[in-house]
C-alpha cells in the first residue's frame, strides 16, 4: 500500500531561488489557488513570479478528492440563513461559473486529465431538514436539482440531493498541462514577510515586490488581518480502492463519507476533524465505513493519505485585499473543502482586484466582509487557540519517555525539559520542541499520520520537526542530543 495520493502530474521541475531579486507581482504558494491566480494574471499580460516551499501542488491540491461541483449540500441553507437569498444565489452562480471556466480550459488546451461529466449526490441517513432547505435554496438559485428518497438513494440512505452535469478530473494532470507564462521557484520557502514593505525573505534570497499575493492555504502573515482568529484547519483521511464505481457522493455530516471514481478505481474520504484533535484510529474507521458502503475488502485498498483544508465561519472563501490598511497585498484562503471551483473563482477575483476591474463576486468573497452569526464560532475558535498557547507555556506533565509505547508520541519530560517525543517500533526516540513555532501552541501527536499537529492553527511537522504544512514557516528544532536527526540542515528556529 502507498502512503500517498493517486494524483500524478508531469514531473516538470523548477529551480530554487538562490539570490535577491526584484519583481512586479509575487505569489506565495504553489497550490491550485496560487497557480491559477498566477496563470490568470499572466494571461492578462502581467509579469508574475510564484514561489513554493516544496514542489508545486504538493499540499492540499495534491491530496484533494477533486470534485468540481455546485452541489455542496447544506452550504446553501447556511448562506440563506446568514445572508439571505441574494447571497446564496450569488454563491451558486460563482460555483457554476467556476465549473464552466474549468471546462473551457480543458477544451481550449485539449488537456487529457480524465475529465468526466457525472451526477453529484449529497445524501443523509436521516430525513435531513437542512438538506431539504438546501434543495429549496438551490432551486430558487436556478439549480436543476432533484430530491431522491427510497430505492433511488445511494448507500441505503434516507434521502439525497442530486445535481447532474458536474465534473471530475485529475487535478495535477490538468494543472501540469496549462501553459506556464510566469516565473516559478520551487523549494523556496518564505520564512519572513514584511507585508508593509512587500519584502519576502526566503532561505536563500530576498524578494522585493510591488504586489504580494499570499496563497499559502492558511495565511502566514499574522501582523495584519487577524486570520489566526477567523479561520481553522480541518484534517480528513482518504483511501483509494481498486474497485470501480460511478458518480460522486458526499454524506451530509461533518465527518461524512466522500466517494468518487478515478482512473484506477474509487476514492473514499471522510473522518474529518479539527487538525490537532484526534485520538487516532481514523484510517481504521474510514476503512470500516468504506467496506460497509462499497463492499470492498482490505486487499482492495491501494493508497491512503491525509489532507488539510481551511474553514471559514460562514462557508465562503476569502479572496481580496489582505487587510484594509495594507495596500498592494492580497490573500486567498478558506475553501471549506470545496477548493476546485472556488480556486478558479478566487483567481479571477484577485486578477480583477489587481487590475482594477469590476468583479461580480468580489464583495461576497471579500476577506473584510462582516461575517453574520459567527460570534459563537469565533469565541470557540479563540478559546481553542488560548488553551493551546497556555498549555504550550504553562502546561505540566509527569510522564517520561518510559510512558511512550513503540510507534507512538507524547509530550513528556525528557532530558530535563518538556519535549515532543516519538518512539519508533524499535524503541529509538526522536525528540523535538513541543511548541509550534507559529504562535507557540503545544503540539499534539497524530498516530494515523505519525506527525506532530498544532491544535490551534493546524501546522504539521514530521518526527524530525520538518514542516509538512503551515502556517508555520520555521521548523521545530530537534532538541535531544541522543535523538535521531534527518539529513536536512537544522535551522535552529524551533522552540523548547
380, three cell numbers:
470557540
Closest by Cα among 117, 105, 124 to 163: 117
Cα 332 off chain centre by? 12
Burial of residue 106 (CB within 10 Å: 0-12, 13-18, 19+) is middle
**Do residues 239 and 312 lie in contact, with contact meaning Cβ atoms separated by under 8 Å?**
no
Residue with cell 530537534: 478
Pairwise CA distance, residues 107 & 99, whole Å: 13
Q: Where are the alpha helices (DSSP H) in 145-247?
A: 171-177, 227-230
User: Which pLDDT band, with edges at 50, 70 and 90, does 396 fall under?
Assistant: low
Pairwise CA distance, residues 265 & 257, whole Å: 16
pLDDT, residue 395, reads 66
HSE value, Cβ hemisphere, 13 Å, CA-based, for 19: 3
Contacts of 360 (CB under 8 A, 6+ apart): 90, 93, 94
User: Which pLDDT band, with edges at 50, 70 and 90, does 386 fall under?
Assistant: confident
Model confidence at 190: pLDDT above 60: yes
Question: Class of 374-496 per CATH?
Answer: mainly beta
Which 8-state DSSP code applies to residue 218? S
Model confidence at 123: pLDDT above 60: yes
Model confidence at 101: pLDDT above 80: yes
Least confidently predicted of 90-99, 254-263, 346-355 = 254-263
Q: Where are the alpha helices (DSSP H) in 145-220?
A: 171-177
Bridge partners of 124, per DSSP, are 159
pLDDT, residue 10, reads 66
- Dihedral sign, CA of 358, 362, 364, 370? negative
Closest by Cα among 188, 151, 175, 162 to 57: 175
Closest by Cα among 319, 316, 344 to 96: 344
pLDDT, residue 392, reads 60
Please give the model's pTM, rounded to 2 decimal places: 0.91
pLDDT, tens digit, for every residue of 267-284? 999 999 999 888 889 999
Pairwise CA distance, residues 476 & 383, whole Å: 24
76, three cell numbers:
446553501
Q: What angle do CA 233, 331, 75 make, to 5 degrees?
A: 50
Pairwise CA distance, residues 318 & 264, whole Å: 34
pLDDT, residue 327, reads 94
DSSP string, 28-62: E--SHHHHHHHHHHHHTT--EEEE-SSSTT-SGGG
User: Which pLDDT band, with edges at 50, 70 and 90, does 208 fall under?
Assistant: very high
pLDDT, tens digit, for every residue of 84-100? 999 999 999 999 999 99
Q: Find the distance separating the first CA and the last CA of the chain, reported in whole Å.
A: 36
Model confidence at 353: pLDDT above 80: yes
Pairwise CA distance, residues 410 & 413, whole Å: 10
pLDDT, residue 28, reads 98
Which 8-state DSSP code applies to residue 463? T
Which 8-state DSSP code applies to residue 102? H
Q: What angle do CA 466, 470, 474 make, to 5 degrees?
A: 50
Model confidence at 367: pLDDT above 90: yes
pLDDT, residue 492, reads 32
332, three cell numbers:
486567498
SS3 call for 261: strand
pLDDT, residue 280, reads 85
Give, for 349, the enclosing helix (H) or strand (E). Answer: helix 339-355
User: Which pLDDT band, with edges at 50, 70 and 90, does 393 fall under?
Assistant: low
Model confidence at 493: pLDDT above 50: no
- Which part of the chain has CATH 2.102.10.10? 374-496
Mean per-residue pLDDT for 1-6? 86
DSSP string, 383-438: HHHHHHHHHHHH-----BGGGPPTTEEEEEEETTEEEEEEE-TTS-EEEEESB-TT
Pairwise CA distance, residues 269 & 154, whole Å: 16
Model confidence at 496: pLDDT above 50: no
Q: Does domain 114-169+232-310 have CATH number 3.30.9.10?
A: yes
Model confidence at 44: pLDDT above 70: yes
Packing angle, helices 32-43 and 339-355, rounded to 10: 40
pLDDT, residue 278, reads 86
pLDDT, residue 481, reads 42
pLDDT, residue 494, reads 31
Model confidence at 373: pLDDT above 50: yes
How many residues would you count in the chain?
Answer: 496
- Which part of the chain has CATH 3.30.9.10? 114-169+232-310
Amino acid at each position: 500500500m502507498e502512503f500517498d495520493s493517486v494524483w500524478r502530474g508531469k514531473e516538470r521541475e523548477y529551480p530554487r531561488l538562490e539570490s535577491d531579486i526584484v519583481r512586479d507581482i509575487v505569489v506565495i504558494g504553489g497550490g491550485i489557488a496560487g497557480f491559477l491566480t498566477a496563470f490568470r494574471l499572466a494571461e492578462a499580460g502581467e509579469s508574475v513570479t510564484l514561489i513554493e516551499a516544496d514542489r508545486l501542488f504538493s499540499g492540499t491540491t495534491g491530496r484533494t478528492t477533486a470534485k468540481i461541483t455546485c452541489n455542496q449540500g447544506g452550504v446553501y441553507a447556511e448562506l440563506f440563513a446568514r445572508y439571505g437569498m441574494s447571497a446564496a444565489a450569488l454563491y451558486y452562480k460563482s460555483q457554476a461559473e467556476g465549473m464552466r471556466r474549468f471546462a473551457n480550459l480543458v477544451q481550449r488546451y485539449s488537456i487529457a486529465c480524465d475529465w468526466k461529466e457525472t451526477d453529484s449526490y449529497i445524501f443523509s441517513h436521516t430525513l435531513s431538514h437542512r438538506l431539504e432547505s438546501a434543495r429549496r435554496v438551490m432551486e430558487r438559485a436556478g439549480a436543476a436539482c432533484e430530491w431522491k428518497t427510497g430505492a433511488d438513494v445511494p448507500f441505503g440512505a434516507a434521502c439525497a440531493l442530486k445535481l447532474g452535469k458536474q465534473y471530475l478530473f485529475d487535478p495535477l494532470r490538468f494543472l501540469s498541462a496549462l501553459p506556464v507564462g510566469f516565473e516559478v521557484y520551487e523549494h523556496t520557502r518564505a520564512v519572513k514577510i514584511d507585508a508593509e514593505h512587500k519584502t519576502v525573505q526566503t532561505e536563500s534570497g530576498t524578494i522585493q515586490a510591488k504586489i504580494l499575493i499570499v496563497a499559502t492555504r492558511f495565511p502566514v502573515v499574522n501582523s495584519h488581518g487577524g486570520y489566526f482568529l477567523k479561520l481553522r484547519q480541518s484534517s480528513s483521511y482518504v483511501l483509494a480502492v481498486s474497485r470501480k464505481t460511478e458518480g460522486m457522493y458526499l454524506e451530509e455530516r461533518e465527518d461524512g463519507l466522500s466517494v468518487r471514481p478515478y482512473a484506477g478505481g474509487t476514492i473514499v474520504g471522510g473522518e474529518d476533524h479539527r487538525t490537532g484533535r484526534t485520538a487516532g484510529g481514523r484510517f481504521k474507521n474510514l476503512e470500516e465505513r468504506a467496506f460497509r458502503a462499497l463492499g470492498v475488502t482490505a486487499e482492495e485498498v491501494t493508497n491512503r493519505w491525509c489532507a488539510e483544508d481551511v474553514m471559514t465561519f460562514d462557508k465562503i472563501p476569502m479572496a481580496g485585499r489582505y487587510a484594509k490598511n495594507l495596500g498592494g497585498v492580497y490573500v486567498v484562503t478558506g475553501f471549506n473543502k470545496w477548493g476546485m471551483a472556488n480556486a478558479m473563482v478566487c483567481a479571477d477575483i484577485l486578477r480583477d482586484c489587481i487590475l482594477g476591474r469590476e468583479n461580480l463576486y468580489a464583495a461576497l468573497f471579500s476577506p473584510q466582509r462582516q461575517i453574520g452569526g459567527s460570534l459563537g464560532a469565533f469565541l470557540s475558535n479563540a478559546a481553542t487557540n488560548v488553551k493551546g498557547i497556555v498549555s504550550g507555556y504553562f502546561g505540566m506533565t509527569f510522564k517520561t519517555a518510559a510512558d511512550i509505547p513503540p510507534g507512538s508520541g507524547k509530550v513528556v519530560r525528557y532530558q530535563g525539559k518538556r519535549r515532543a517525543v516519538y518512539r519508533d517500533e524499535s524503541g529509538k526516540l526522536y525528540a523535538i520542541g513541543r511548541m509550534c513555532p507559529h504562535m507557540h501552541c503545544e503540539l499534539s501527536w497524530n498516530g494515523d499520520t505519525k506527525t506532530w499537529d498544532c491544535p490551534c492553527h493546524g501546522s504539521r511537522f514530521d518526527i524530525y520537526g520538518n514542516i509538512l504544512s503551515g502556517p508555520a514557516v520555521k521548523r521545530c528544532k530537534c532538541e535531544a542530543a541522543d535523538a535521531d536527526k534527518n539529513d536536512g540542515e537544522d535551522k535552529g528556529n524551533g522552540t523548547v
